Structure 1
């Protein structure tokens, strides 16, 4: 799908466009487990492509309340913006052709971007890579799954720990022209129980960077108490217990000063990994 953008994915205009623009469905992303519609959105002379995920198209999950995945996607954007990292494309909750849903700016990927994930036939990951674990590649053979030792991925690993992402797969990583990295598909997030499941375990147990501590500190300040602006926005998207759990995870990360490790109570790596 070709989607030339006329706006910057970080501009205020992007949120205005997504919120107020006229949505026109152009197609459907068939490989998605829930309804994902590829749309154009136009408002006041601006136009772009976007993704629309109507609540009515969400499949029920045993461990999440029905009809809440779209809200969780928007909450992930709110948290991402509050860290200052801008890892999630502009995302809003609005009415659309098939009812209320999540609408997110479409991000074009850079075909020239280097690989972020790989399978290698060695016991060590090699320079510039971090090991995740062994993967079954068929016929009784295994290979080492690795991800790039990339500061953009490291920021994303911290964000995923904060939002308790239960489904960070390789296909959710979108390197864009200009070197920016975006991440998508954040419906399975913010559970009050530990659900962290990701391909980005390469820094597990390692000290957080000074940058990460600064971003977490800023996020803690923004969360404040139930009367803060961020908390008020999150309260419209999540339950009070889920917002309280965000504060607790941020506090734990700052107190421990390290990237989390797999708990052992939940599969650590999503399946399929891509």
Structure 2
């Protein structure tokens, strides 16, 4: 008599783990302006660490709807996934110990990665892009630069699409295997131009061929009734979705990285 066929256990996806797993709060990240909780999450034998940002812990902002930042974090992930660049850690909207909130996979940053620097002189060295001058104390200034890194350049494109109003240095997480992630996307998708970022090094330069292909795919994905557009309509306003489409069209028309508008501070404060 032959032995019964063994069915291998089903593999739990990261999305399932984050959306359905049991959340246990392990601590709070106190540097954040809103409530950010460090948690463990477990589901059907798979475990991980994650960040949980409850809507109840969001600080009201004058230029964004109340109780909506968590949904914008999820929207940024959805757009990132369509690009194929995987620049935002897996992120879901779910109920948790303190109500509805954003749950995002925890990323351990590589400690030796150098993406930003303050240097003497007026021009960046080879392999670096200038951001601007910063005061460093005692009346001295130094040139703030970021790495001329293809991963950062992709993130600059994503930030322009989602209209990120707060791309600080601390929101850049170099992960393992050469990966780079951007986090903290609560203040995105505004209908008004609010792009504030440290990644201005390519401003006015031609977009790469890869970026143009990604933007063309995004244009199709944002068409009414397309899956991405349907999902975003659940997360941001109709006006904000239309503005996202317009930003993609503008970049495809210009074929260049956006430049600061002059109508809004170009660099977030504090920058790191």
* Counterpart in the other structure of 1:41: 41
Map residues 8-157 of structure 1 onto 2, 5 A cutoff.
Answer: 13-113=13-113, 115-157=114-156
* Counterpart in the other structure of 1:201: 200
2: distance between equivalents of 1:194 and 1:12? 39
* Counterpart in the other structure of 2:258: 260
1: distance between equivalents of 2:48 and 2:157? 30
Residues 12 and 253 (structure 1 numbering): CA distance in 2 closer, same or farther, change over 3 Å? farther
Q: Say whether the 8 Å CA contact 2:12–2:44 is kept in structure 1.
A: no
Q: What is the CA distance between 1:68 and its match in structure 2? A: 0.5
1: distance between equivalents of 2:223 and 2:65? 26
Q: What is the CA distance between 1:232 and its match in structure 2? A: 0.8
2: distance between equivalents of 1:84 and 1:220? 14
* Counterpart in the other structure of 1:6: none
Residue 247 (str. 1) matches residue 248 (str. 2)? no
1: distance between equivalents of 2:129 and 2:68? 34
Residues 257 and 183 (structure 1 numbering): CA distance in 2 closer, same or farther, change over 3 Å? same
SS at match of 1:38: strand
SS at match of 1:252: helix
Q: What is the CA distance between 1:211 and its match in structure 2? A: 0.6
Any runs of at least 4 consecutive aligned residues in structure 1 with deviations exceeding 2 A, and if so which?
none
Q: What is the CA distance between 1:12 and its match in structure 2? A: 7.3
Aligned residue pairs: how many? Answer: 262
Cα distance per residue 1:108-133 (max 9 Å; x no partner):
111233x1000001111010000010
2: distance between equivalents of 1:112 and 1:199? 20
Q: What is the CA distance between 1:228 and its match in structure 2? A: 1.1
SS at match of 1:67: coil
2: distance between equivalents of 1:35 and 1:110? 24
SS at match of 2:178: coil
SS at match of 1:241: helix
Q: What is the CA distance between 1:73 and its match in structure 2? A: 0.2
Question: Where does the alignment leave 5 or more consecutive residues of structure 2 unmatched?
Answer: 1-10
* Counterpart in the other structure of 1:4: none
* Counterpart in the other structure of 1:5: none
SS at match of 1:178: helix
* Counterpart in the other structure of 2:168: 169
Cα distance per residue 1:159-194 (max 9 Å; x no partner):
000000000000000001111000100001000000
Q: What is the CA distance between 1:221 and its match in structure 2? A: 1.1
* Counterpart in the other structure of 1:180: 179
Residues 84 and 169 (structure 1 numbering): CA distance in 2 closer, same or farther, change over 3 Å? same
Q: Say whether the 8 Å CA contact 2:204–2:258 is kept in structure 1.
A: yes
